[in-house]
Structure 1
């Protein structure tokens, strides 16, 4: 029986999705088999999301593929500051239309447009072909890297005896945004951890995005340089980082600094392009485009295409969550301070190394009502995808930024 998730594509998207979710189940010694349809709906959760019966618009007109004079590029402008930077770089009005952008891109080379956008602080990449040698080199490294680092620390445990909440008693500090990191911390919250998401005062999160991945977490606004952040870190078991490595360094939150100041902390880090590219920002769609995935999924061999879900993001999130769970168990036995890392580009290399089809398998209808949960959040009715993990149910997402930056419960460490 085919146990891969029905996510039609030439690449083995469904196999990667099923393997990623199963990694979480293995980490908690759960032998149940997840429903492939449920996994597919979880990976396409943005399509299932309803707020007061309406489907939110999840893509900005400044995000997409554009034909240039000599090829294709992909832009990402979902956040207002990225859209503004794109317009500045291209020297078009802040309210430029898609037709305006299309004309500008068509008159220039891919490299010219990508450089102009990047120089202004925006996000764009050339749509490329796959690079088998580079991908093979990436696959020679672990899919998720785990290393012991920093000052030694004695074993400590907050082990739970509750099968439905194996991470009860664990505190997770969440400094992530946009799918991969939030999927990781949402999964850790699903397993019973106390997750506190922290966002900076100057960068609001789209409401729909938080409703889609904020289940079971508390959410607060806090300057990462504040003393309150240091107090939160002092009592955290795990910090999950999703910002650019260079930005973390400027905030005093690099893994080396965290390990030195907080022995015993588990530092889980996600990046778009890998830690060897500390200044480079990115998103799933951009990694798909540059890595060659977009051209493999082309509908006609000419226009770029895309995977049926933000599968690099979701898989990175599940696999990082599994690694966090396994490292918590290891810390309880051995002690130590630990660093866990993976990237969307490493996920792309993994997918590109898996068996592929000449053509995508046909799309199959899945009844969304069988794979959704409904919540009331601040007077709004929110329908989201249900958990991919069998036997678990999400707690409701909370209002973004609506909580105080404090741990909720007493923290009893067993050494």
Structure 2
């Protein structure tokens, strides 16, 4: 844990000696797996604590981190646990292996069925039969051509992971000149108070990042496309403390928001953002002093490829490492690539804002789920998962009233900070 945290701090241009300021936990984070999932989680969260710049760093609660990484399992809306996975998402056996699909969004589910030659009423058994009748690669190609999301479940590729790990886990670079920011006074109870964050992300990793920035006091405004609603449960699980609106990315209103933002967090495909004039290079050129943080599934070398945590686990080799029997693919105990990427991105934003305050400049940050996966695959591992550790959620959750409903979520992982309630999706005006 400490070695990874030290490397992350070097990536963020923070003295690695700050690692010793973080109290070491006597217990591992209880996320049982063969891979070092708990260690990755602890280091990712600890990086935020250090990047804030606090002189005193409180100890992290391993149980709270584990619950936060599995927050979807503890979410309740009026006491009920919502369905969080579509029947179109999962592992399917092909004639020569396995594929993994993701169909949680309706348009992805429709494309998946179209690619397999199935109608909208097709059930899981129909998908299973269609995939079983073809090779894994053939099914993935057909689904992908139709606009769906699927990957071949693959063994790990140590050479590829080594190449990815030759670069920083989280990249932070100065991208232009701007005057230092000297007017904002730091508040230890809300270190990002006065910072405006434009949140152009969805699903888990990006929203975890911006939820963390809101937790630290930032004014976070999430903007979504008007025609692409977010599943309610997903937004409520990661929407704490943010305002949320819909807006056309090409509108004059969007340009005005960008002109007044301190930070922009990007979570859509890099190529799609570039077509909208929202690439990091364009944004920092047009808006000196801006901090732009970009997250993608597969990295800059695959700018037009969409993906999710589950798909990256499957293609990177994680699913086979975590296989319960050496034959069928398995999964990590949480969507740990998403959550770790979110916290690492939040830490980098805090580090960049500290640099901007001290020396000025525009700053660009980037990481990807695939880069996080490579890090996890290169860390020490166990031959068998550690024993399951049951956690009593009492004391680790809190209730909010949201649009007449009682929403129960896991409390934040950072001691001394408390979540504000999430707003209903798209309930706010698109303005600061």
TM-score higher than 0.5? yes
2:74 alignment partner in structure 1:
48
Shift of 1:160: 3.8
Determine if the alignment matches structure 1 residue 265 to structure 2 residue 290.
yes
Q: 1:155 aligns with which of 180, 193, 196?
A: 180
2:206 alignment partner in structure 1:
181
TM-superposition CA deviations, 1:42-95 (whole Å, max 9, x none): 000000000001000000000000000000000000000100100111110112
Q: 1:20 aligns with which of 9, 34, 44?
A: 44
- TM alignment of 1:240-279, pairs within 5 A: 240-279=265-304
Determine if the alignment matches structure 1 residue 6 to structure 2 residue 30.
yes
Q: 1:217 aligns with which of 233, 239, 242?
A: 242
Q: Which runs of 4+ in 1 moved over 6 A?
A: none
- TM alignment of 1:200-239, pairs within 5 A: 200-239=225-264
Shift of 1:157: 4.4
Question: Structure 2 length normalisation: TM-score?
Answer: 0.93
Unaligned runs of 5+ in 2: 1-24
- Give, in whole Å, the separation in 2 of the partners of 1:88 and 1:404: 37
2:190 alignment partner in structure 1:
165
Instruction: Compute the RMSD of aligned alpha carbons.
Output: 0.9
Moved more, 370-379 or 28-37: 28-37
Shift of 1:226: 0.3
Determine if the alignment matches structure 1 residue 335 to structure 2 residue 386.
no
Decide whether the 8 Å contact of 2:95 with 2:133 is kept in 1. yes
Give the number of aligned pairs: 406
Shift of 1:278: 0.5
1:362 alignment partner in structure 2:
387
Q: 1:65 aligns with which of 66, 79, 91?
A: 91
SS at match of 1:368: coil
TM-superposition CA deviations, 1:274-297 (whole Å, max 9, x none): 011001000000000000000000
SS at match of 2:57: coil
SS at match of 2:395: helix
Moved more, 21-30 or 80-89: 21-30
1:413 alignment partner in structure 2:
none
Give the 3 Å change call, closer, same or farther, for CA 406–157 of structure 1 in structure 2: farther
- Give, in whole Å, the separation in 2 of the partners of 1:2 and 1:162: 31
Unaligned runs of 5+ in 1: 408-415
Give the 3 Å change call, closer, same or farther, for CA 160–395 of structure 1 in structure 2: farther
Q: 2:118 aligns with which of 87, 92, 95?
A: 92
Question: Structure 1 length normalisation: TM-score?
Answer: 0.97
Decide whether the 8 Å contact of 1:245 with 1:279 is kept in 2. yes
Determine if the alignment matches structure 1 residue 386 to structure 2 residue 405.
no
TM-superposition CA deviations, 1:329-368 (whole Å, max 9, x none): 0011111111100000000001001110111111111111
